[in-house]
Amino acid sequence: MKNVVTDPEKVTRILKTATEIFGQQGFIKSKTDQIANQAQVSKGLLFHYFGNKQALYLDAFKYAYHRIYDHMDPQKWQNAPGLAAMMTTAVKYELKLQFKFPAEYRLMMQAYADLPHFPEPLRQQVQQETTAISAEADRIFREKIEQLPRREGLSVDDVFGVVS
């Protein structure tokens, strides 16, 4: 978002609406007019806050990720007694989060599908974000694998390579 004075309530409405519309229609088909109308702000205000459609998309993507991540509780699945139980519990927990945050997950999945079609600067920025998200997920998962008992001669990298 641009460094301008903003109304936090309007910013949240815009990001929430953009998350829904970008998630449903993708970047190319989404119209800033529709986002502004549904967020009940002027199109001028939308551009004043975000600058352009690409910046709005990137901020909506980050908003969606943080909405999910801020509600995520790794303890819900990390306390499983073994790797199979942990993975089963993690998948079930992930599904619960998808039901709780459907628009956010839809945008995240749509971003992966749209990645090759983004304008170059946006493609690079979304790719950086998804790389950082994957690295964080890998870190959490690897940390748990390190705590699990393993057969002699089986390294954390061996286990991680099979399950990731």
pLDDT tens, residue by residue, 79-99: 777 778 888 888 898 899 999
**Helices within the chain (DSSP H only):** 8-29, 32-39, 43-50, 53-71, 75-78, 83-100, 102-114, 120-147, 156-163
Q: Which of 17-26, 50-59, 134-143 has the lowest mean pLDDT?
A: 134-143
CA–CA gap between residue 31 and residue 63 (Å, rounded)? 19
CB-hemisphere CA count at 13 Å for 160? 15
Question: Which single residue is written with the structure tokens 């301008």?
Answer: 4
CA–CA gap between residue 130 and residue 108 (Å, rounded)? 9
CATH superfamily of this structure's domain 8-163: Tetracycline Repressor, domain 2 (1.10.357.10)
CB 56 within 8 A of CB 46: yes
CA–CA gap between residue 36 and residue 43 (Å, rounded)? 5
User: How do the domains of the chain map onto residue ranges?
Assistant: 8-163
Average pLDDT (70-79) is 80
CA–CA gap between residue 85 and residue 19 (Å, rounded)? 33
pLDDT of residue 145: 82
Alpha-carbon radius of gyration of the chain: 19
Question: Which single residue is written with the structure tokens 């964080």?
Answer: 136
The structure tokens listed for 79 are: 């306390």
